[in-house]
Amino acid sequence: MTLVIEGCAVATVDPAGTEYRDGHVVVRGNRIAAVGPGRAPEVQGGNRIDGRGCLLTPGLVNTHHHLYQWVTRGLAADATLFEWLTTLYPIWAGIDADATRVAATGALASLARTGCTTTTDHHYLFPRDAGDLLGATIEAAAQVGLRFHPTRGSMDLGQSAGGLPPDSVVEALDDILVASQDAVSRWHDPTFDSMLRIGLAPCSPFSVSPELLRESATLARELGVRLHTHAAETLDEHDYCLRTHGCTPAAYLEQLGWVGPDVWYAHGIHLDDDAIATLARTGTGVAHCPTSNARIGCGVARTADLLAAGVPVGLGVDGAASNESSSLIEEPRNALLFARQRGGPSALTVRTALELATIGGARTLGRAAEIGSLEPGKLADLALWRLDGPAHAGIEDPVTALILGAAPPLAALVVNGRIVVRDGEIRTIDEAATGRDVARAQAALVAKAG
C-alpha cells in the first residue's frame, strides 16, 4: 500500500533541519520511502493526498500521560498538587477495566485530534479486583490506532505507611513485581516497527518505597524495558524528600539506580545545576509538561538549561485531571512561552519547540531511530496540518503558524502508514458514542465515591 502526500510545506525535523516550502512524502507500507521538494515521483496506484495549504510534520510524541484521568476532569480545579491528589485518590479508587477503557479511548482520540501519533501512559492505579486495567488501555490504543508505550505503574506506600495515597489503592511490592514481569512478557514488542512497548513506572517518591524503586530498576534492566516516574514536580515533593530521605528527589533517585539512557522523569522542574549535569551525563530524559505544571502552579521547568546541557527532553500533556484540554499541539507553544518568560527571548526558538514535540519525544522514549522525523526508512507517523483557514492564512512561516498560531485542524494523521484522522474526523472510532460513554463513566465514578 502506497500513500503520497504532496503540494504541502514540509518540516522534516531531520538532523539538518531540512524544510521544503513545497514538497512531498511517499509512504510504502508502514515506512517513509521518500521525502523531497516539488511533486512526488510517479507512483502506480495507491492513495494520494493533496496537501496544498498544509504543513507536513512528523507525528507528535506524547511522553507523559495518565489516560484513566479522562473520566475525572475538572475536579479540584483550584487546588495544590497534594490537595488535588488527596481529593482525587478516593474517586480514582473506584476505577475498573470498563471505565479505564472508556477513559483511554476518549483521551487517545483527543491526542489523535491534536497531532499525536505516539503516546505513553503512566498507569499506576490498580485497585483490588478492578480487572485488567493495563489490558483495557492497550485495547483502546489498538482501536484508536496510536503507537503506544504504556507503563506498568505502581504504588506501595499508603497512608498508614506515611505515603499520600489511601491504602486501598496501593499494592504489595511482590505483587507489583509479578504483575510488571507479566505485563512485559504478555505485551512488550521490542522490534523496530513496534506499536506497543511496555515500561515500568513506580508513581512518585511520596507514593512508593525505596525498595520498590530499586527492585523495579533491577527488573526493568533484566527485561530490557524503560523506567519512568514523576520527579521534581513540586516544592512539597522536594521538602518531603529532604525530610524523609535527607536529599533532593533527584539525588534520591540517583542513589536508587534511577539514572541512565533507559530512564525518563515526568516534569523535572525543581532541579539544581548538579542534578541537570547528572541527567546530561547519564542520558536520563525529561518529559516536560508545561500546561499541567501551570494548571497546578508548581513551577516552570528549566527547559533551556536542560537542552543546553544535552538532556533528552520531550513534551507531555500529563493526565487530563491536571490538563483538561490535553491538546498535544499546545504543548510546544506553552513550552516556548514559559521558557521565554523564564529565560528571555532567545531561551527557546519556534523550531526547537517543534523538535521537542517530535524528535525530542522520540529520543526520550528511546525511539529516535524509528520515529520523530521525516526521513526515508523511518516509520510513517505523520501529521498534516491545515493552515489555509482564516486563523492561519497569511502567517509568514508555516512552522511559526503551527507553533504560535491557534491549534490548527488536521488534514490527515498517519500512524504506521495508516490514516487515523482525515479532514478533522477520526476514522477509527465513533467520536459521538465515545463522548457519551465518557460522560456516563465519569458520572458513575463520581457517584461511586459518594
- List interacting residues with Zn ion (CB under 5 A): 266, 318
Nearer to Zn ion, 115 or 319 (CB): 319
Amino acid at 204: S
Nearer to Zn ion, 125 or 266 (CB): 266
Max CA distance (Å), the chain = 68
Rounded to an integer, what distance in angstroms lies between the CA atom of residue 272 and that of residue 301?
Answer: 11
| Angle in degrees, CA 201, 205, 211, rounded to 5 | 75
Q: How far is the CB of 355 from Zn ion (least distance, A)?
A: 22
- Label the pairing between strands 418-422 and 410-415: antiparallel
| Nearer to Zn ion (CB atom), residue 230 or residue 392 | 230
**Given the complex with Zn ion, which of 318 and 355 has the nearer CB atom?**
318
| Closest approach of Zn ion to the CB of residue 290, in Å | 13
Q: How far is the CB of 199 from Zn ion (least distance, A)?
A: 14
Q: Which residue's CB comes closest to Zn ion?
A: 318
Least separation in angstroms between CB 64 and Zn ion: 6
Question: If you ran DSSP here, which 8-state letter would residue 389 be given?
Answer: S
CB of 318 to Zn ion, least distance (A): 5
The distance of closest approach from Cβ of residue 370 to Zn ion in the complex, given in angstroms and rounded to an integer, is 25
Let me know: does 118 contact 61? Beta carbons within 8 Å: yes
**Got the DSSP string for 233-264?**
--HHHHHHHHHHHSS-HHHHHHHTT--STTEE
Q: Is 85 helix (H, G, I), strand (E, B) or coil?
A: helix
Nearer to Zn ion by Cβ, of 74 and 394: the residue is: 74
Q: Which residue has the cell 503520497?
A: 4
Tell me whether residue 92 or residue 385 sits nearer to Zn ion (CB atom).
92
Phi, psi of 424 (to 5 degrees): 80, 0
For Zn ion, which is the closer residue by CB, 321 or 429?
A: 321
3-state secondary structure 118-140: EEEEEECCCCCCCCCHHHHHHHH
Least distance to Zn ion, CB of residue 125, Å: 12
